[in-house]
Amino acid sequence: MSFEEMWRALLPVGRDAATGGYHRFAWTPPELECRAWFADEARRRGMPLEHDRNGNMIAWWYPEDGTRDRAVLTGSHLDSVPGGGAFDGPLGIVSAFAAVDLLRERGAALRRPIGIAAFAEEEGARFGVACLGSRLLAGAIDPARARALTDGDGRTFAEVLHGAGLDPDAIGPDDDLLGRVGCYVELHVEQGRALAEPVGVASSIVPHGRWRFGFAGEGNHAGTTALADRRDPMIPFAGMVLAARDAAERNGTVATVGKVRVVPGGVNAIASSVTAWLDARGPADAAVRRTVDEVGAAAREAARPHRVTVEVAEESYTEIVDFNLALRDRLVRTLGGAPVLPTGAGHDAGVLSARLPTAMLFVRNPTGVSHAPAEHAETADCLAGVEALAAVLDDLARG
């Protein structure tokens, strides 16, 4: 199967015909179809498939001498955000299989195993915590907290794992698996317009996090309730959205309210509660923290005259990630030079960098759009990405 054939096979899975956006949430039917595709691609190549205890999958190519450690791990994720693009995640996995094919055609002699990983729930679109599979693997989230996370239908992560044939009590840091891996290199579509050449190398991921704002008021009739009698949580919620924009401008950060839940959600009913999620990112921890504090203060101030209560909870936070300098330089050398750029997007590579030398390759995105249907990469650039990944894996797996 060539890169293009693999890409075409995945393309219809979970795609909304009307919008072109993808809905591949962890362990829902479209994502399970992507996982089955992954297992088929591994089987087709005779690559043993490992299911780790955190819902991640790895397809292995072992050297002939039976070496099982110091592996070079690559891969990405198969899940998507709601209405996401085709490339965010799958590009890294399809490229990894295509790179393995190239290396085999060229008779590469491995001294270290190469593993292709598909990490679970990278987007956090179902359970709210991004990079959940790699966080569990790396010990970056308390397993008890992970087990209790719920999806939009109130199903716990533990229940969903159990339904997928995994033991929820076994999730958590996996030093056996990490101990077999020497480094991780993830290829990913670039998610802004920062890359002018087909392939680049990541320097860092900016600090970023998610906060849940709960506004509690009183549900009531939209026609019979006088303005003075209302406790309408929509009003401070609206203030919070505007405050996020202002705080981001003041602090040189970015802040987004992209998800909101209004209860009960009737046209003719004052809401009883509103839950809104703030995503904030910026060049430095202090600026991001200040942004969130200012939005929280503005929300409370907007809530007071309406007798609405506000609760703010941090759902996840990732400090600045500087990718391993020696590995990054090695990638640049292997590619004969490449632009080096930071990113505002989170990745499993960022989480794993606390435990392993990690690096990333980016493939140019001419639209500069991501987490939306217009996300794009030209086939020629994707193939350049495959060549670059093959060169990097070859170099690392020989050493």
Q: Is 122 helix (H, G, I), strand (E, B) or coil?
A: coil
d(CA 212, CA 311): 8
User: Is 56 labelled a binding residue?
Assistant: no
Interhelix angle 234-251/285-303, rounded to 10 degrees, is 150
Binding mask 41-80 for ligand GLV (x = CB under 6 A): ----------------------------------------
Exposure letters 229-249 (e unless 16+ CB within 10 A, then b): ebbbbbbbbebbbebbeebbe
Q: Is 220 annotated as a binding residue?
A: no
End-to-end CA distance of the chain: 28
188 annotated as belonging to a binding site for a ligand: yes
Shortest distance, CB of residue 128 to ligand GLV, whole angstroms?
12
- What is the C-alpha separation between 102 and 371, in angstroms, rounded? 30
Total residues at interface with ligand GLV (CB under 6 A): 4
Is 210 assigned a ligand-binding role in the annotation? yes
Distance CA 248, CA 255 (A): 6
The site for Mn ion (CB under 5 A) is made up of 88-89, 346-347
Please indicate if the annotation marks 77 as binding a ligand: yes
3-state secondary structure of 358: strand
Nearer to ligand GLV, 180 or 281 (CB): 281
Answer yes or no: are the C-beta atoms of 41 and 49 closer than 8 Å.
Answer: no
Positions in 341-360 near ligand GLV (CB under 6 A): 345-346
CA-CA distance, 16 to 22, in Å (whole number)? 6
Element of type H or E holding 30: helix 29-44
Nearer to ligand GLV (CB atom), residue 121 or residue 174? 121
- Contact between residue 239 and residue 302 where contact means Cβ atoms under 8 Å apart: yes
Annotated binding residue at 69? no
Q: How far is the CB of 360 from ligand GLV (least distance, A)?
A: 12
Contact 280, 292 (CB under 8 A): yes
**210 contacts 295 by C-beta, under 8 angstroms:** no
- Which of residues 41 and 121 has its CB atom nearest to ligand GLV in the complex? 121
Question: Which two structure tokens, joined as six digits, stand for 250?
Answer: 């003041």
Q: By C-beta, is 21 or 346 nearer to ligand GLV?
A: 346
Provide the minimum distance between the beta carbon of 124 and ligand GLV in the complex, in angstroms, as a whole number: 7
Bridge partners (DSSP) listed for residue 114 = 61, 72
Please tell me whether 365 is known to bind a ligand.
Answer: no
- Measured from the CB atom, the residue of 281 and 330 that comes closer to Mn ion is 281
The distance of closest approach from Cβ of residue 55 to ligand GLV in the complex, given in angstroms and rounded to an integer, is 17
Site string for ligand GLV, 227-266 (x = CB under 6 A): ----------------------------------------
128 or 357: whose CB is closer to ligand GLV? 128
Our CB check for Mn ion shows the closer of 31 and 88 to be 88
Interface with ligand GLV, residue 189, by CB under 6 A: no
Q: In angstroms, rounded to a whole number, what is the distance separating the alpha carbons of residues 183 and 160?
A: 30
Nearer to Mn ion, 30 or 346 (CB): 346
| Contacted entry of ligand GLV, Mn ion, none for residue 89, CB cut-off 5 to 8 Å set by kind | Mn ion
CA distance 349 to 322: 11
Question: Which CB, 345 or 393, lies closer to ligand GLV?
Answer: 345
Q: Residue 93 binds what, of Mn ion, ligand GLV, none (CB under 5 to 8 Å, by partner type)? A: none
Instruction: Determine the 3-state secondary structure of 346 from DSSP.
Output: coil
Min separation Cβ 253 and Mn ion, Å: 18
User: If you count them, how many residues does the chain have?
Assistant: 399
354 in helix, strand or coil? coil
Helix, strand or coil, per DSSP, at residue 82: coil
Shortest gap between Cβ of 347 and Mn ion (angstroms)?
5
> Shortest distance, CB of residue 379 to ligand GLV, whole angstroms?
23
Q: Print the binding letters for residues 105-134 with ligand GLV: x by CB under 6 A, - otherwise.
A: ------------------x------x----
Q: How many CA atoms lie within 13 A of 21 on its CB side?
A: 12
Please identify which residue in the block is written with the tokens 């505007």.
242
Q: How far is the CB of 130 from ligand GLV (least distance, A)?
A: 6
Query: Cα separation of 276 and 63, whole Å?
Result: 50
Binding residue ranges for Zn(2+): 77, 88, 123, 188, 371
Binding residue ranges for allantoate: 210, 268, 281
Using CB under 6 A as the criterion, which residues of the chain lie in contact with ligand GLV when the complex forms? 123, 130, 345-346
Binding residue ranges: 77, 88, 123, 188, 210, 268, 281, 371
